[in-house]
Structure 1
Amino acid sequence: MIDSNSSTESVDVMVVGAGVTGLYAVHRLRGLGYRVRGFERGDDVGGVWYWNRYPGARCDVESVDYSYSFDEDLQQEWDWSEKYAAQPEIMRYLRHVADRFDLRRSYTFATSVTSVELDEETLRWTVRTDRGQVVSARFCVFAVGCLSRTHLPDIPGAGEFAGATYHTGEWPHESVDFTGLRVGVIGTGSSGIQSIPLIAEQAAHLTVFQRSANYSIPAGNEPLDDEARRRQKAGYAERRRLSRLSGGGSPHMAHASRAFEVSERERRAAFARRWELGGVLYAKTFPDQLSDLKANEAARAFWEEKVRVLIDDPEVADLLVPTDHPIGTKRIVTDSDYYATFNRDNVRLVSLRENPIQRIDGAGIVLADGTVVELDAIVFATGFDAMTGAVDRIDVRGRDGRKLTDVWREGPRTYLGLAVNGFPNLFNLTGPGSPSVLANVVLCAEQHGDWLTDCLRHLDAHGYLAIEAREESVEQWVTECRERAATTLYPSANSWYLGANIPGKPRVFMPFIGGLGAYGEIIADVADQGYRGFDLIRN
């Protein structure tokens, strides 16, 4: 509704983002009868999958698991075509969900929220956009995603390049044809590893510029036939039950024993099974693999043994095998023919550790030793300002006009990853302080969306105007997240989990590392105890 005395629209809830998390939040909140207003900077739903259209973009969670569980008819009617869905199929699925539940009518697309400011007298939020809209909302819900603010490294001369440039996180919607071109790809994280094989098939010559080698495992992708889909759909209930109890939101549990409590033969057989399963789950073959260096080294050695046979040139293999972090402490990539791509005559690998980029000029990339790599196109596969970047670009001001970026200056400070002291009725879903990027984000979205819905229902039923995290609760949660991470090997890697890829960003391990199941028990217990750690504020 529009305030009769102004051009300000008044709603119950404002939701930022129309990705997996935002769509579910809108669906649940509308179910409470709330007037919900959503904004999305893209032209359609999809979130990270709307923007990440680069060649080979594919989810590293099995399709059957990377899907909503809240509606049985939806589960049964949708047919996935392959084990690991590619970006176009995921977009079709999310569009189908938006259509089926009529979610688009709550959104304004191609619109960015620029500021969110608290009115301390009414405890309502004033929301402004880049298109001039002003909205007053009782509740403000951020569903902006952890991997949605792209990072472009500051390389001297980048603007001088005469050819085409692309970023994997903001790929054009029209087709990009590299046929006959000299292409450079900067970065060998997930998007680089997934796109490089397909770019190599088109390009006349491809130069890969690698700063840090990453661990990747073949996806073992395969088409799904009707019989496979029938089995999956018949077993959905148990699959979802196991996934919610797990650490990562997948039904594939770690081995019951620690790595060196079994024989070498059994240990290698377990690694082989996970290798065949494909993808990120290899990091969780044994329960101590990410906390014990000896167990981790066993997993790493098996991985290296499998990978080296895929690469013809031992010197190239030396560059592609990581030596600077334990396996799994950066997200393991799920690839299709990545390592074999370096056997192609038209592909060259440049180690930026040995020969850094000095600058970019009109002709291409100039290396520290003076070598000029002449290029027709450059692809920046340089990732994201992860976890906090998308929130940071919104001017969020709470009590006393305090900016959220100032509160988070030394790292994100949340209670349960959901709320921040001084920002009543503002919620950040599936972000820092929650399992988020360490788990299946679709189940994370449902977990947070359900908790939020129950919370707001509780406020209304008991006559509360607002809910706000206490500062001591925030401090305790930040400490708990830090201490849990310190018991693992994760902090030993310079990963985007710690913001290490962004110059000047504080080095803080941002996700909750205890797993989806344990986290679910914690937030449920908080709710059962009358929202312990929060102040509930009456009218």
Structure 2
Amino acid sequence: MKRDISNVAPATNGTHDAGKTYTNGDHNAESQPLDMVIVGAGFAGVYLLHQLRKRGLKAKIVEAGSDLGGIWYWNRYPGARVDSQYPVYALSIPEVYKDWTWSSHYPDHAELRAYFDHVEARLHVKRDCVFDSKVTAAAWDDEARLWTITCETGTSFTTRYWTACTGFAAKRYFPAWEGLDEFKGVIHHSSFWPKEGVDVRGKRVAVVGTGATGVQITQEEIGPEGHLKMFQRTPNFACPMNQVFMTKEEQAKLVDALPDRFAERNNFYNGFLYQWRENLTFDHSEEERREFYEMLWKMGGFRFLMNNYYDMTRDSVANQTAYDFWREKVHSRVHDARKAELLAPKEKPHLFGGKRLSLEQDFYDHFNKPNVDVIDTRTNPIVRFTPDGIVQEDGTFHQLDVIALATGFDSITGGLKDMHVTGVDGVVLADKWAQGTWTYLGISTAGFPNFFFTYGPQAPTAFSNGPSCIEIQGDWIVDVVEDMARQNLRKINPQRRAEEQWRELVFELINDTPRGKVDSWYNGANIPGKPREHLNYAGGIPRYKKTLEEVRKQGYEGFELS
């Protein structure tokens, strides 16, 4: 039996010894505190380390996994691939992009790991990394004005500043199903899929969950002898990816334009290279609107959501029009009427764009196969697992050999609250945020001086392309550290009033959008007992970047410096 359904990162058997550091000498013997400890070796951690090094600052990355990559170290499930279109999902570091080429607009998980190998070859990140070391605690000493970062291995670091680059999907979530531990077949959460893969040929397979991960796993081939059931509570409004493959020669012609393209990311709301149109849905006739929708559909990617009419996500009638077009497209591909209605129901389950839609390649076509089915768990929920399957509320039993749990994450805040972070006067971060999340600028929180986080709560995060967001934040954090040193200051702490005002702004900006009206992991609604609150900044990348710049220009308005 192979299984991984624990909430703790598994022991790794990678190419690095536990706790191995790629610096000279023992880090416990450092005579001086580090300038920065970075938790996480994904895009954000690597970018931040590189920028700190360029300023002559001393930093280390501490990573729970055995290699670089962050989420792409862990994401190995079938079909896992990025859904941000070339060229925006990449580091804007010349040493990295000048001689790297992608195979397609939407590379898969294996290519992303190869990309991080290339990053290492060009930047030599690992010499300042400690792998297989999950950070469990961080404690602030207000007198010394230093943090102590402690790992599960017992290793600790003393540092002036630290940044959590753990991303928004650092803590897995499992619904409280009876008997989950009793299943005797192969069961894995998607975020810790085994490196060697899982053989599903001829097997009875279940995919539980219909987020991006559920869609990607479901559309992978199981063979004619296998059987796959996708357990769906809420349909995914998946749109066509329309994958584009590229040659090295084609990309070589584009490399000189990449600096401008990377800079251009910051001019668009989501950090992509497009955003909503200025015209409105009913400015066009029905025929013109249909033609426009067809154009977006053919272009693929997130364009049907992000590049649509301005009012598509702001007006309910316009939103319904877009949904009706999407539903028609799904029904034209799924020939079984029962399956088609479950996947794209006549009655819209929520506003189009209210939950994160996914990009699909041939997801809907698979449901035309007799051995692929969709199981409704909204009206007939899963009530328990047995040693050989799943039972629904009405007693329906599904005998299974393999279960892929695409049940998502305690997103945005889960990873941060999972660490025991102790600030001024012994206040614990998880306690401070127990009834609601408080940040300033989506990058810091009052009472926890010299502590930052990237791609986390109340920043553009899940409403943005990852590298666009983290590079803006990383640059700002490095500026803070350098400015503090230049002014001979040792402590920067957000003011309570500043984070109260930031929270008010975060809520205000999202109120007139579908994402502000629909329960989802965007607002913590997927986790029982978690506060329902807006966890992402909906003001867009350009406004966010300008705000950070203005705060710095005004002498770090909203912070107390000493």
TM-score range for the pair, normalised by the shorter chain length: over 0.9
CA distance in 1, matches of 2:520, 2:40: 25
Q: Is the 8 A contact 1:211 1:351 kept in 2?
A: yes
How far does residue 12 in structure 1 lie from its aligned partner after superposition?
1.6
Task: Note closer, same or farther for the CA distance 1:303–1:231 as it changes in structure 2 (3 Å cut).
Answer: farther
How far does residue 410 in structure 1 lie from its aligned partner after superposition?
2.2
CA distance in 2, matches of 1:526, 1:510: 21
How far does residue 166 in structure 1 lie from its aligned partner after superposition?
1.1
Task: Note closer, same or farther for the CA distance 1:245–1:149 as it changes in structure 2 (3 Å cut).
Answer: same
> Is residue 283 of structure 1 aligned with residue 301 of structure 2?
no
Structure 1 stretches of 5 or more lacking a match? none
Q: Is the 8 A contact 2:511 2:517 kept in 1?
A: no
Task: Note closer, same or farther for the CA distance 1:4–1:334 as it changes in structure 2 (3 Å cut).
Answer: closer
Counterpart of 1:22 (choices 22, 39, 45) is: 45
Equivalent position SS for 1:235? helix
Q: Which residue number corresponds to residue 70 of structure 1?
A: 93
> Is residue 137 of structure 1 aligned with residue 134 of structure 2?
no
Q: Is the 8 A contact 1:216 1:279 kept in 2?
A: no
How far does residue 2 in structure 1 lie from its aligned partner after superposition?
9.0
How far does residue 8 in structure 1 lie from its aligned partner after superposition?
9.0
Equivalent position SS for 1:279? coil
How far does residue 336 in structure 1 lie from its aligned partner after superposition?
1.4
**One-letter identity of the residue aligned with 2:557:** R
Q: Which residue number corresponds to residue 11 of structure 2?
A: none
CA distance in 2, matches of 1:171, 1:138: 36
- Summarize the alignment of residues 135-534 of structure 1 with structure 2, pairs less than 5 Å apart: 135-201=157-223, 204-226=226-248, 228-284=250-306, 285-321=308-344, 323-534=348-559
- Summarize the alignment of residues 24-103 of structure 1 with structure 2, pairs less than 5 Å apart: 24-71=47-94, 73-103=95-125
Q: Deviations over 1:510-536 (max 9, x none)?
A: 010111111111111111111111111
Equivalent position SS for 1:276? helix
Bigger mean CA deviation after superposition, 199-208 or 214-223: 199-208
TM-score by length of structure 2 reads: 0.92
Q: Which residue number corresponds to residue 136 of structure 2?
A: 114
**One-letter identity of the residue aligned with 1:289:** M
Task: Note closer, same or farther for the CA distance 1:510–1:203 as it changes in structure 2 (3 Å cut).
Answer: farther
Bigger mean CA deviation after superposition, 312-321 or 275-284: 275-284
CA distance in 1, matches of 2:56, 2:258: 30
Task: Note closer, same or farther for the CA distance 1:203–1:389 as it changes in structure 2 (3 Å cut).
Answer: farther
Q: Is the 8 A contact 1:250 1:440 kept in 2?
A: yes
How far does residue 9 in structure 1 lie from its aligned partner after superposition?
7.6
Q: Deviations over 1:304-343 (max 9, x none)?
A: 1111101001221110115221111111101111111111
Equivalent position SS for 2:188? strand
CA distance in 2, matches of 1:5, 1:520: 37
Q: Is the 8 A contact 2:139 2:422 kept in 1?
A: yes
Equivalent position SS for 1:200? coil
Bigger mean CA deviation after superposition, 338-347 or 258-267: 258-267
Q: Is the 8 A contact 1:64 1:80 kept in 2?
A: no
Q: Which residue number corresponds to residue 15 of structure 2?
A: none
Q: Is the 8 A contact 2:77 2:197 kept in 1?
A: no
Equivalent position SS for 1:212? coil
Counterpart of 2:146 (choices 121, 124, 134) is: 124
CA distance in 2, matches of 1:6, 1:93: 33
CA distance in 1, matches of 2:229, 2:83: 25
Bigger mean CA deviation after superposition, 130-139 or 292-301: 292-301
Q: Is the 8 A contact 1:240 1:251 kept in 2?
A: no
Q: Is the 8 A contact 2:104 2:243 kept in 1?
A: yes
Q: Is the 8 A contact 1:117 1:126 kept in 2?
A: yes
How far does residue 4 in structure 1 lie from its aligned partner after superposition?
12
TM-score by length of structure 1 reads: 0.96
May I ask how many residue pairs the two structures share in their alignment? Answer: 536
Task: Note closer, same or farther for the CA distance 1:219–1:183 as it changes in structure 2 (3 Å cut).
Answer: same
CA distance in 1, matches of 2:479, 2:41: 21
Equivalent position SS for 1:309? helix
CA distance in 2, matches of 1:247, 1:165: 39
CA distance in 2, matches of 1:456, 1:484: 30
Q: Is the 8 A contact 1:500 1:507 kept in 2?
A: yes
Q: Is the 8 A contact 2:85 2:301 kept in 1?
A: no
User: What is the root-mean-square deviation of aligned Cα atoms in Å?
Assistant: 1.9
How far does residue 227 in structure 1 lie from its aligned partner after superposition?
5.2
Equivalent position SS for 2:519? coil
Q: Deviations over 1:234-258 (max 9, x none)?
A: 4324433432110111112322212
How far does residue 140 in structure 1 lie from its aligned partner after superposition?
1.1
Task: Note closer, same or farther for the CA distance 1:230–1:270 as it changes in structure 2 (3 Å cut).
Answer: farther
How far does residue 6 in structure 1 lie from its aligned partner after superposition?
7.9
How far does residue 167 in structure 1 lie from its aligned partner after superposition?
1.0
**One-letter identity of the residue aligned with 1:269:** E
Q: Deviations over 1:19-40 (max 9, x none)?
A: 1111111111122222212211
Q: Deviations over 1:178-222 (max 9, x none)?
A: 011111111111101011121534761111111111100121002
Q: Deviations over 1:85-114 (max 9, x none)?
A: 111111111221123111111111111011
**One-letter identity of the residue aligned with 2:226:** A
CA distance in 2, matches of 1:115, 1:5: 16
Task: Note closer, same or farther for the CA distance 1:162–1:229 as it changes in structure 2 (3 Å cut).
Answer: same
How far does residue 13 in structure 1 lie from its aligned partner after superposition?
0.8
How far does residue 259 in structure 1 lie from its aligned partner after superposition?
2.2
Bigger mean CA deviation after superposition, 504-513 or 247-256: 247-256
Q: Is the 8 A contact 1:162 1:363 kept in 2?
A: yes
Task: Note closer, same or farther for the CA distance 1:345–1:9 as it changes in structure 2 (3 Å cut).
Answer: farther
